[in-house]
Amino acid sequence: MSGTASAGLPRRLRIGLFVQGRFHAFDLARALIERGHVVRLLTNYPKWAIRRFGLTDQNIETNVAHGIASKIADRVHRFLPGFDLNPALNRWFGTWAARKLKNGSFDVVHGFTQVAEEPLRRVSAPVRTVVRGSAHIRTQAGILAAEQNRLGTALGVPSAWSIAREEREYTLADSIVVLSSFAYRSFVEQGTRPERIRLLRLGVDTRGFRPDAGVLADRTRRILSGEPLRLLMVGTFSAQKGAHDFRDIVCQLPPSGFLFRFVGAVEPEVAAIAKQLRDRVEFVPRQMQSALPAQYAWGDLFLFPTLQDGFAVVLSQAQAACLPVLTTTNSSGPDLIVDGKTGWVLPIRDSESFVRRIRWCSDNRDAVAGMVAYLDAHHVTRDWKEVAADFEALMYDLMQARRSEAPV
């Protein structure tokens, strides 16, 4: 429908959007409102924090007590891994959201997995969808279990309770929204019928991450001059994001030719790996989004050896910042990267492939400088206006399909 309502469907959708935390929900809500839809956002963030994303109090419903309890539970869990309050916290948020999303008040009810079971059971609406921010939970659990065996360290593998709850949510939803072709394939491989899955690629605020001419000139000069190549990674330093392979990549490359910077939080599970790398890697604490463009300006290449990501917004940020990207098949990389022109997509757990490609970049600096110029000239990163338009079209398609299925 190309984002336009057909006959009999409302042109102004009433959308109930619920999320435990933030993820991409705040940006999507703002962009949908800008397209003229009525959005009610339910979250556990305080209102003052949500206002920074361009949303007003009339669009927001908050459960701050839940947010505080979640932060406390997360900190306790770091020191006592067996202490898991997620079942109680997820049911609490889901029950609260179901109470706030009154029957018949919305055309679309759209929420995130792990807190969606109660709204999907109790709230009626023409379309009820659930979004999964990662691969199918069984795929994610399998990848993390294998990494746990490889590292010999306990990781946050989804529990049997979490897997069962999420699979009930998959079944209850009219459609499952995923964020990359990798995530889409994971659902198909786990037995989900393709017609029940919808792909919605996310975006990034391209205005904030586009480099100016001075940044591009400095990067090009560094690359062509033979200075050590700067490799940047942004996100969370964790086993799931490939911390083990990141260490192997760093250790296989000579300090004289390469500089490494990691920007973000370090998870306790890989704190020992980070400590080993302090002499070779500059670790910068987690930054506000407004400070990230300066970090991207530092780099020459963007490194992201993730084992599993539903989308990985940092890849879009890196492309907007005109950084060639090296990442894995298990992310949004295959959807974003033109191999050899804007970066490379490599297998997971294959540090040697990353090292070979990075060495190639060092030996072929004219080509790398050309990729930076290509990224600048062919800027195709999606922004949130495009995401909102695609979400709108997806919802209209689902509403039309539901009408077609209804008995006459």
355 and 302 in a single domain? The answer is yes
Residue 57 lies in a domain: yes
Residues 6+ apart with CB under 8 A from 87: 161, 165
Residue 2 lies in a domain: no
210 and 199 in a single domain? The answer is no
The predicted structure's pLDDT at residue 77: 72
236 and 298 in a single domain? The answer is yes
Q: Look up the domain containing 222 and give its range.
A: 206-377
The predicted structure's pLDDT at residue 11: 85
The predicted structure's pLDDT at residue 68: 95
Residue 175 lies in a domain: yes
The predicted structure's pLDDT at residue 1: 44
Q: Which ranges of the chain have pLDDT less than 50?
A: 1-3, 408
229 and 190 in a single domain? The answer is no
The predicted structure's pLDDT at residue 7: 60
Asked if residues 215 and 372 have their Cβ atoms less than 8 Å apart, the reply is: no
Number of domains in the chain: 2
d(CA 355, CA 357): 5
**Residue 236's beta-bridge partner residues?**
265
Give the predicted TM-score (pTM) of the model. 0.91
362 and 393 in a single domain? The answer is no
235 and 364 in a single domain? The answer is yes
Residue 1 lies in a domain: no
**258-266 β-sheet, strand order:** 281-284, 258-266, 229-237, 301-304, 325-328, 343-346
The predicted structure's pLDDT at residue 372: 97
Take residue 197 and report the two structure tokens written for it.
């899955």
Burial class (CB in 10 A: 0-12, 13-18, 19+), 77: middle
Residues 6+ apart with CB under 8 A from 371: 324, 341, 342, 343
The predicted structure's pLDDT at residue 358: 98
CATH assignment of the domain containing 151: 3.40.50.2000
88 and 121 in a single domain? The answer is yes
153 and 211 in a single domain? The answer is no
159 and 30 in a single domain? The answer is yes
The predicted structure's pLDDT at residue 394: 96
Residue 8 lies in a domain: no
The predicted structure's pLDDT at residue 344: 98
- DSSP character at residue 348: T
